[in-house]
Amino acid sequence: MELPKRAGNAPVPVDLEAGKRYAYCSCGLSESQPFCNGKHRGQGMAPTVFVAEETKTAYMCTCKLTSNPNGFCDGSHKKPV
Ligand code: FES
């Protein structure tokens, strides 16, 4: 299986809390998008862990094409596949 797997075609809004740690799914296998649920194990991949800098609603990538280091949507899902 080629990873990362495209888990969606649009970002999902999530409520982040300042100072809280999050694990963004980078393999695309998690059913808990956009967050890790451990499905990367044995796939040679790991989640992207970050601490939210502020409390806000963020739009997180599910297409796995974003260049943002924390998994925030950068509009790359609009690119043709
Ligand atoms: S959902 Fe991946 S860049 Fe927008």
Atom of ligand 1 nearest to the CA of 11: 1
Q: Is residue 81 part of a domain?
A: no
Q: Is residue 30 part of a domain?
A: yes
Atom of ligand 1 nearest to the CA of 68: 3
Q: Is residue 80 part of a domain?
A: no
Q: Is residue 52 part of a domain?
A: yes
Q: How many domains does the chain have?
A: 1
Q: Is residue 31 part of a domain?
A: yes
Write out the chain in H/E/C secondary structure.
CCCCCCCCCCCEEEEECCCCEEEECCCCCCCCCCECCCCCCCCCCCCEEEECCCCEEEEECCCCCCCCCCCECCCHHHCCC
The whole-number pLDDT of residue 81 equals: 66
- 78 — pLDDT class (breaks 50, 70, 90): very high
- 18-36 confidence digits (pLDDT tens): 999 999 999 999 999 999 9
Q: Is residue 56 part of a domain?
A: yes
Q: Is residue 48 part of a domain?
A: yes
Atom of ligand 1 nearest to the CA of 64: 2
Give the binding-site residues of ligand 1, using a 6 Å CB cut-off.
10-11, 61-63, 65-66, 73-77
- 32-74 confidence digits (pLDDT tens): 999 999 999 999 999 999 999 999 999 999 999 999 999 999 9
Which range of residues forms the domain containing residue 42? 1-71
